[in-house]
Each structure stands twice: as C-alpha cells, then as structure tokens.
Amino acid sequence: MEIERQRGISVATSVLAFHYKDKKINILDTPGHKDFAEDTFRTLTAVDSVLW
C-alpha cells in the first residue's frame, strides 16, 4: 500500500501461512500504530475465537 510506504508502518493485517512438521503455522502482521488499532483488535478477536 502506498500509505505504508509513505509512513513506514503496516496499516492492514497481513497473513503468512506455511506448513511445518505436519502443522499449519499462521503468522499475523497487524498494525502497530494507534491510528489503526481497530484493525488489530478485529484480527486478534478473530484469532481468539478459533484458538482453544
């Protein structure tokens, strides 16, 4: 995103998924800036809903 290049920060959540030793690993890159905290909150709420 252009705004990410301009500000040098992540503004949207990105996901990297891969398999390792018969397990699927998902790495989430969430925005760390307070202006985008709502996106981080939504992402972590969704993750919390699927972890047992």
Position 51 scores a pLDDT of 60
Whether the full predicted model's pTM is greater than 0.85, yes or no, is: no
The pLDDT tens digits for 10-51 are 777 888 899 999 988 888 887 777 777 777 788 878 777 666
CA–CA separation, 34 vs 17, rounded Å?
26
Position 50 scores a pLDDT of 65
Position 47 scores a pLDDT of 78
Our measurement of the distance from residue 4's CA atom to the centroid of its chain's CA atoms, rounded to an integer in Å, reads: 14
Position 21 scores a pLDDT of 95
Closest CA to 26 of 17, 34, 37, 35: 17
